[in-house]
Amino acid sequence: MNTLLKNIPKITPKYIKILEKLGLFTVQDFLFYLPFRYDDFSQTVALSDEHLNSVVTVSAVVMKTKLNRIFRRKMTIAEVYLEDENQTPLKAVWFNQPFMLESLPIGSEVRLSGKLSRMGKYFTLSNPAWERASREKTNTGQLVPIYSETPGLTSKWIRWQMKTFFANITQLEDFVPEELRKKFHLYSLISALGQIHFPENQEKLLIAQKTFAFREMFLMQIKTLRVKNTWEAQSATNLLLDEKLINKFIENLPFKLTGAQHKSSFEILRDLEKTSPMNRLLNGDVGAGKTVVAAISTLSVLSQKHQVAILAPTEVLALQHFESFCKLFSAYDFKIALLTSSYKLIFQSWEPKAQKITRDQMLGQIENGEINLVIGTHAIIQKDVNFKNLALVIIDEQHRFGVAQRSELQKETMQLKDGKKKTIPHLLTMTATPIPRTLAIAFFGSLDLSILDEMPKNRKPIITRIVLPAQRDQIYAFMRKEIDAGRQVFVILPLVEESKVLTEVKAVTEEHKKLSEIFPEYHLGLLHGRLKSKEKETVMQDFKDKKSQILVSTSVVEVGIDIPNATIMLIENSDRFGLSQLHQFRGRVGRGEHQSYCFLFTDSATKTALERMRAMEKSNDGFELSEIDLKLRGPGQLLGKSQSGFSDIAMENLNNLKLIKLARAEAQNIFKTDSKLKKHPLIAKALEKFAKDVHLE
């Protein structure tokens, strides 16, 4: 299994180079290169009209061959004439593959698979899959695996190699205990791999997929239990709740807390009273008011002479938090700092406005405890930042930190120089991306969960409408009316893959130019991923200060950025976004007293696209929309599949709540009696590899 592919004589250096680029170095790596779909060639038939337009497999004998050259189009057409067992004529055609005539000499018996059509007296197959009838079925006559291909590497080549390997492997080390496999009707690893690559039928393929999904879910649950266990084995400062102080703060707020805000606040405050460190996720819907919940827990800690650090993924969000907390704590004797690469600001309630300060001065005041609350970006957890008595770390929009940063954040929180030798800070993470229940159970098992699923009572629901091309001018007229009444507008263009970032910049720049011509009387801001942090910030600040009336942006527009005066969110090609992302964009408006609108521009008439858009029209509930998104688009879109390290099979099973719960229950059973996995060395070994590959903390 650990044999290097380059030591296998049949695999030439040309292929080794391609395989290594894909991260495939050993036989085991190759065996775990799983198909992403299957061609169903399992219907083997005799030629007849009843099978026209169906995908079938036919056995036939080659009678004659012919090569046509179309010089004008620099094209060749290889025609092979065959007869099946009933001597029914069949013509197979391949374009630009003249070598097919040598591969299929007259008299050879072959199996061909493809979509059957008819032309005159001949049944026809265009570019069919084929193989000699004498060979074992690999490319025809069954469910045929299709792999992610790359130049120089075809699914056909992969299938042949897989067949060779499976012929020589009889057993594989399997970390799932046999009693579990029997209990849940799962295959052994060797059988599951065999059925994944070469399924005998649909039913066996489903069991193999279930086996792989269970394996990854099971490891994920062991991993989260281990993180939870390690975390809970630490000590934290217990901070007793002063109900009188908290209730007075809540009473003096200019708005009434929702039931969900109240419940979540007290869940956090009760956690802070414990001597084991809190590790809680505050999962709020867009606009459900996370900041005030974070402020209540911060107040409790600061009032007991301990420090709090708040981390945001961007400078713009860090600045917004700084402004919010300065306002919320203006009646208290706290010193609040903003620490980012661009900002070093200090606010004290006894001074009218924030003061600039040098980094060294700020670090000194953090270390001697003079600064109570530090708000900033990842700069807060750099090695030269030392606290005097840090008791709580709050991480906002944790999923927006890079994957590597994200998996390190919790570790870094534990290692922060908090000025205390025997304790670590309590940890509160926050997100405004509603997480469906199944995903929360699957991936956030190491965290306690508080949910903000209630909107403030005075918040008007945002009116959402699908806009077809013919209605564009009508919406532009409405935009003009809103801007003339003193409001502002967001215009969002869809994100293009990272490799096409220049295309994305070009598209948003062209849209900005087009709208500048349509609305010459207004000032338009432009925001995209190629701008430097400082430039982005200036554009956002100008919009916030009402210097621009329309902001044209790619999807880099900040999550959580607060522009109470913006009342229109116009999203171009909205069908290219998932519901959760559309809901995030929509949440950028509706934050002030005026009625707000979200217009979903689309040229797509596909059923799925319109179904998704209609869900947006009907619902303002982010949790409901995230569940619909999970069903329609799959979890990869919600979690960022390319970042997760999870296989496609595991991803597709993430809405299988029953499977996740079973995996969790079994992981807990093992963990109860063997938390160090000493009696389960194969699980420990698999977990080590899994922890390196998967990043979903």
pLDDT surpassing 80 at residue 458: no
Using a pLDDT cut of 90, give the percent of the chain over it.
Answer: 60
The pTM of this model reads 0.77
* Residue 379: per-residue pLDDT: 81
d(Cα 548, Cα 158) in Å, to the nearest integer? 56
- pLDDT of 641 > 70? The answer is no
Least confident of 61-65, 232-236, 322-326: 232-236
Least confident piece of the model among 304-318, 333-347, 409-423, 671-685 = 409-423
- Is residue 494 pLDDT above 90, yes or no? no
Q: Is 606 exposed, middle or buried (0-12, 13-18, 19+ CB in 10 A)?
A: exposed
Is-contact 146 156, C-beta < 8 A?
Answer: no
Q: What is the mean pLDDT of residues 180-202?
A: 94
Per-residue pLDDT tens digits for 276-292: 999 999 998 888 899 99
Average pLDDT over residues 304-313: 93
Residue 498 has pLDDT above 50, yes or no: no
pLDDT of the residue at 578: 83
Amino acid found at 662? L
| Angle of the 607-618 helix axis to the 579-586 helix axis, nearest 10 | 40
Fold designation for 43-141: OB fold (Dihydrolipoamide Acetyltransferase, E2P) (2.40.50)
Query: What residue spans of 444-562 are helical by DSSP H?
Result: 472-484, 501-518, 533-544
C-alpha span between 250 and 243 (Å, rounded): 10
- For residue 436, give the nearest of 624, 587, 616 by alpha carbon: 624
Beta strands per DSSP E along 147-203: none
Residue 1 CA, distance from chain mean position: 32
- Residue ranges per structural domain of the chain: 1-38+148-169, 43-141, 243-452, 463-619
Closest to 335 measured CA to CA, from 296, 376, 371, 298:
371
CB 489 within 8 A of CB 618: no
Provide Rg for the chain, Cα atoms.
30
Q: What is the pLDDT of residue 560?
A: 60
Tell me the fold of 463-619: Rossmann fold (3.40.50)
pLDDT at 499 over 60: no
pLDDT surpasses 80 at 47: yes
Architecture of domain 243-452: 3-Layer(aba) Sandwich (3.40)
Residue 152 and residue 92: Cα distance in Å, rounded?
A: 25
Q: Is the pLDDT of residue 59 over 70?
A: yes
| The two domains 43-141 and 463-619 share their CATH topology (first three levels equal) | no
Instruction: Encode pLDDT of 356-398 as tens digits.
Output: 999 999 999 999 999 999 999 888 877 788 899 999 999 998 6
By residue count, the chain amounts to 697
Tens digits of per-residue pLDDT, 517-552? 999 999 999 998 788 877 887 898 899 899 999 999
Q: Quick one: tokens of 225?
A: 């239990």
Count CB neighbours of 75 within 10 A.
Answer: 11
CB 216 within 8 A of CB 192: no
Q: What is the mean pLDDT of residues 640-654?
A: 62
Contacts of 335 by beta carbon, 8 Å cutoff, 6+ apart? 346, 347, 348, 365, 370, 371, 372, 373
Mean pLDDT of the chain: 88
Beta bridge pairs of residue 568 = 489, 597
pLDDT above 60: residue 643: no
Please enumerate in sequence order all residues whose Cβ is within 8 A of that of 358, keeping only pairs 6 or more positions apart, or say none: 344
Residue 26 phi, psi dihedral angles, 5° rounding: -120, 170
User: pLDDT of 208-231, one tens digit each?
Assistant: 999 999 998 899 899 888 888 888
Q: What is the pLDDT of residues 90-141, one digit of tens each?
A: 999 999 999 999 999 999 999 999 999 999 999 999 999 999 999 989 999 9
| Structure-model confidence comparison of residues 324 and 316, the more confident one | 324
Query: What pLDDT was estimated at residue 407?
Result: 47
